Amino acid sequence: MASTTSLSNWNWWQNHVQTDLQGGEFVNAATTLIAAGPPSLAGKSTDTELANLAFPIGIVENFGLNQNKMIQKMFEIGSKRAYHIPGRTVGAITLGRILYWGPSLLRVLYAYYPPSEAGSGTHAVDSVGTNGAKTPKVNDPAGFGSTPGGQTGNTDFYINLASDLFDHPLGLMVYLRDAQNDAYGAFYLEDTYLQAHSFNINASSILIAEGVSAQYDRLVPINVTAGQ
């Protein structure tokens, strides 16, 4: 059965609109990876170049991306029609995560900033264990949090959004595959700044939830290779 391509071969009582779709071709939350990295791609544009650049963020429960384009509507005397002038596009994200015995949400988002060389551009990831697992370094970044009111937190629990560290941008990568492990697409959010952080405790829940909202400067598509 062929897919519906026009009204002339639309057979709604018998065929799907897209009949060649296979079950394993669906993209879902389980086949999506979210990772934090440097503020800019700095010329890296393929999945291979980004393989060891961004730090995967685990235990993410929800992620949302919104893009809004400013549209100026202009009218003229003598007509009921209108002109539309497109303006700049503004993007924002939300991300929710569960707190566990390990780096907190603010810590993993800033994994790129090394504790001893904050702002130097060195990747803040240590290799641990025998299986090649990676975790962010956990000491307080040097050069940030020099005053009590501006300290980030302790070890791997970063909690103070007023810290000097969070005046600096980060980057976020979203990588999509389907159930057949074929790459579908990816994009990178450059110069992302956190604007809100939530820390929620509920007596009826056994888990503690964290969340952030942020704005980014630019969304950059990443070239992905099928099957990678």
Radius of gyration of the chain (CA): 22
Q: Which range marks the domain in which residue 193 is found?
A: 22-222
The pLDDT value given to residue 78: 95
The pLDDT value given to residue 227: 43
Q: pLDDT by residue (tens digit) across 18-59?
A: 766 676 678 889 999 999 988 988 766 555 666 667 889 989
Within a domain: 14: no
Number of structural domains found in the chain: 1
The pLDDT value given to residue 134: 40
Within a domain: 16: no
Within a domain: 13: no
Within a domain: 90: yes
Within a domain: 217: yes
Q: Residue 189's domain is classified under what CATH number?
A: 2.30.110
Within a domain: 4: no
Which residues of the chain are modeled with pLDDT < 50?
116-143, 146, 226-228
Calpha distance 56→125 (Å, rounded):
11
Within a domain: 1: no
Strand, coil or helix: 47 = helix
The pLDDT value given to residue 64: 97
Q: Which two tokens stand for residue 225?
A: 């290779």
The pLDDT value given to residue 9: 81
Q: Which two tokens stand for residue 72?
A: 């100026």
Within a domain: 138: yes
CA neighbours closer than 13 Å in the CB half-sphere of residue 60: 22
The number of helix segments (H) and strand segments (E) in the chain equals 2, 12
